[in-house]
Amino acid sequence: MSTPTDITSNVLLLEQTNQLKGLYSIIRNKNTHRSDFVFYSDRIIRLLVERGLDQLPVKQADITTPLDVTYSGVEFLGKICGVSIVRAGESMEQGLRDCCRSVRIGKILIQRDEETALPKLFYEKLPEDIEDRYVFLLDPMLATGGSAILATEVLISRGVKPERIFFLNLLAAPEGIKAYHDKFPEIKIITGGIDPKLDEKKRIDPGLGDFGDRYYCI
C-alpha cells in the first residue's frame, strides 16, 4: 500500500505493520476463498473500530480495584452509534458490535440513479436521538466519495455535528479523500489503506475488487 504525501491531519491511516500488510495481501488476492476473505477482513475492521474508539472524548474517572486501591482511569463521554451504507457497509457492523455492547446501528441505502449516474438516497433508518451521538459511518471502500458524501449529508440533516462523525473504511483512493474533505474538512476518515489512484472505471487501483460481492457471495 502506498501512502500519499498530502494526507491531511483528518485522515487517520492505520499503522502499516507487517501484520496489517499481510492481512491486506490476503484480502487483495483474487484467489482467496470467501471464508478467508471474510475472516481477515473482519480482523481489519476490528482494528478500524478500535482506532475510531480512540478518537472519542473521555473524562477522568476514579475507580476502586478489588484490592480497595483507587485507580485513576477514564470513561467515555457521550453515546455512539454506527451507520452503515448498505450493503457493503453492513459487513462492518459486527466489528463495531464486538467492541461496543448493545450499540445502536442505523442504515442508509444509496444507489446510482440510472438517468443521472449520480448517487441517490433510497432508504434511511437512523436512531431517533442520533443528533446526540457520535457516529461511526461504515463503508469498506472510499472510491469517488459520492455515496459517502450523500450519506454524510443525510446525517448532518438529522442534526449530527460534523465533528461527531468518523468515517471508517478499509481502503481509500486519493480522489475520494479529496472529494470528501472538500465537502467535510472537519470529519475524520479512518482507513486501513490508501491506494495510488482510481482507474478509468472509477475503481480503486490496485484495490481488492467489489468488497460487497466478495464478502457476501459464495
Cell of 194: 490508501
Q: 76: which DSSP letter? A: E
Question: Could you tell me if 56 and 109 are in contact, meaning their C-beta atoms sit under 8 angstroms apart?
Answer: no
Active site residue 46: no
Residue with cell 477522568: 60
Q: CA angle, corner 11, sides to 9 and 17, nearest 5?
A: 110
Q: Which of 68, 73, 202 is nearest to 147 (CA)?
A: 202
Active site residue 213: yes
The residue annotated as part of the active site, out of 17, 112, 113, 182, is: 112
Cell of 37: 476473505
The residue annotated as part of the active site, out of 98, 132, 205, 210, is: 210
**95 Cβ contact list (under 8 Å, min separation 6):** 42, 45, 46, 48, 49
Question: Could you tell me if 171 and 204 are in contact, meaning their C-beta atoms sit under 8 angstroms apart?
Answer: yes
Alpha carbon distance 47, 53 (integer Å): 10
Active site residue 116: yes
Question: Could you tell me if 177 and 145 are in contact, meaning their C-beta atoms sit under 8 angstroms apart?
Answer: yes
Active site residue 98: no
Question: Could you tell me if 121 and 150 are in contact, meaning their C-beta atoms sit under 8 angstroms apart?
Answer: yes
Query: Any idea which residues carry the catalytic annotation?
Result: 112, 116, 210, 213
